[in-house]
Amino acid sequence: MKIISGIQQIGIGIPNVHEAWKWYRQNFGFDIPVFDDPGTAGLMLPYTGGKPHERHAILAVNIQGGGGFEIWQYTSRTPQPAAFNIQLGDLGFFAAKIKSKTLNGAFLNFKVKNENLISNIVKDPIGNQHFFVKDPTGNIFQVVDNSNFFKESKAYTGGAYGVIVGVTDIDKSKKFYADILGFDEVVYEKEGHFTDFEALPGGSGNFKRVLLRNRSPRKGPFSRFMGDSQIELVKTLDREPKKIFENRLWGDLGFIHLCFDVQGMKSVKEDCDRFGCNFTVDSNPESYEKGEGTFDMGEASGHFTYIEDPDGALIEFVETHKMPLLKKIGWYLNLKKRNPEKPLPDWMLKTMRFNRKKD
């Protein structure tokens, strides 16, 4: 059975993993490490120039819930920026969505700290408030008003809530994100000039935009922690878009993938095969015939695969087998023997707060 619990994390290629994580801790509350893993990216060969590369990756989450960030740095080469100025509507992940139930407080916090605000608080086509900010590397984040939080903390924001993705064909992408990933409800579908986009690079043009969300509540072990999420499709109507990762490697600077937590990888594979978007990377290809294999990620383990959306943006699926809950006492969660549909108890996931990295 295919189960998608929600957005597990958004991958972010950056130049310095430790400096980036400190900024995300202090500004977005991503202060709980799930893993901190230097090593070799040996399985992503289709996207790393055909050879393995050394890297350092940290997966961090916010106790208030939502997706995490996989903060990813090449250590065997210098990560490269795009050779052009990325604009809204270029193909791939343009911005990450972050949720906040104290939007005014979050905005004022960034304003007081002078932390790279791009816009004032603005409204989308149906009146939902949000604002844009960027990190020191230039990655753009949309902070959106949302009250679906897992646990209260002092942070002004919660976890990752989705992405803004540039596409060439709205209808084709709508079908992909609905049929494969469960974003089957259209919140709005509009065309024209949008004042809430004006402050963004290339945002003063004309666009078609569609906001999608999942109609039914997610199931699975981490569904209550990850919560609901959104995908916003944006097609530029004034110019020919460029691929954000054109002539670059996965892991270079920017949003490198969107990852979903799943159960039933065999069913996920069958579903993707029927749709025509076959796995391009598979950490455990033998597992479908020989039983469930696992891939070691240091303090966590599981099975991961990749597909591409209709314009080549990378979607990752991760079936988690083991993850740390309380590292200090060696308490690790084994998910292989649990009911795949049943959410983990809240109290169990809340113990992750004791792993916080404090500045």
pLDDT of 142-188, one tens digit each?
999 998 888 878 889 999 999 999 999 999 999 999 999 999 999 99
For residue 316, the cross-strand partners are: 259, 306
**pLDDT above 70 for 291:** no
> What are the tens digits of pLDDT across the range 235-268?
999 999 999 999 999 999 999 999 999 999 999 9
pTM of this prediction?
0.94
For residue 314, the cross-strand partners are: 308
- Placement of tokens 């609905």 in the chain: 178
Provide the domain count of the chain.
Answer: 1
pLDDT band of 338, cuts 50, 70, 90: confident
Kindly report the CATH number assigned to the domain that includes residue 20: 3.10.180.10
pLDDT band of 298, cuts 50, 70, 90: low
Share of the chain above pLDDT 70, in %: 95
The pLDDT value recorded for residue 300 is 67
The pLDDT value recorded for residue 285 is 86
pLDDT band of 302, cuts 50, 70, 90: confident
CA distances from 180 to 135, 172, 260, 269, 273 (A): 31, 12, 11, 10, 10
Q: State mean pLDDT over 304-321.
A: 96
Q: State mean pLDDT over 75-103.
A: 97
Q: Which domain holds residue 282?
A: 3-355
pLDDT band of 115, cuts 50, 70, 90: confident
- Could you tell me the two tokens for 300? 């966590």
Residues 6+ apart with CB under 8 A from 302: 294, 295, 318, 319, 320, 321, 322
Higher pLDDT, 174 or 101: 174
Higher pLDDT, 288 or 353: 353
